[in-house]
Structure 1
């Protein structure tokens, strides 16, 4: 059996992909409701509600727990990496987004005096704790529905 055929039959991986896909689709819907315009970039962009990173990793770790047991080494590894990714999404990446806002303001202010040739930095990078929690909950729900 070829690699891609094996991956397509890996239900744990499929759970993660489906959780990610649903989270990304929800970002488009959330943006449509809050901004009153269709922004398809939200489907591939990072940041926003819910966290697709959290959805994917909690979907994966929950599926591993269901299949391998909550006391298995596989689940411990999957959950540990999920927690690190979610911490990073709401901590480090969120701080980077806040720094980008400040730097963009500096660049904008500088442009009024003298062009500096810098492009705006991406500001929507990390997540609030609520966005991370919502994404994690989505991943858990998807895994419980599909496994």
Structure 2
């Protein structure tokens, strides 16, 4: 059985979403490298940071669906609602989860320092949690603008 790989690049909504995610993650990695002076490969796929790749993806799909199908289409409506949910979640729920992770990491470190003999057991039981889960509003806005820009470039040049 032969698989036609052209199907993978035939949907403009998928294409613009994947390109937006890749560009946002690459920018996120570069920005982290310049601001912290170190390359972290985890930034290439990790959550949190500047710009929001979630916002970039949803906004690029949102604008592309508008440009291709119009305001009245169900595809645009779904993309619009999805973008609102994702951006709200990034600045609210996921941001709070990151703050909780930071507090838990501090508590685990504090307890480990207080009782050094149980430090290894404690760190094995509770591995260090990822503190970079959500976004500040500026990161979401920059991700949205990046997504809109990529959608426009994709629409007019490809």
TM-score range, shorter chain: over 0.9
Shift of 1:144: 0.7
Aligned to 1:16: 17
Aligned to 1:135: 143
Residue 34 (str. 1) matches residue 53 (str. 2): no
When the two chains are superposed, the root-mean-square deviation of aligned CA atoms in Å is 1.5
Runs of 4+ deviating beyond 6 Å: none
Displacement of 1:3: 7.0
Counterpart residue number, 1:122: 130
Aligned to 2:80: 79
SS of aligned partner of 1:98: helix
How far does residue 105 in structure 1 lie from its aligned partner after superposition?
0.6
Gaps of 5+ in 2: none
Counterpart CA distance in 2 for 1:96 and 1:142 is 29
1:142 CA displacement: 0.3
In 2: Cα distance, 1:36 partner to 1:121 partner: 22
- Residue ranges of structure 1 left out of the alignment (5+ in a row): none
| The structure with more radius of gyration | 2
d(CA) in 2 for partners of 1:80, 1:48: 23
- Aligned partners of 1:70 and 1:50: how far apart in 2? 27
TM-score by length of 2: 0.88
How far the C-alpha of 1:36 sits from its partner, in A, is 1.2
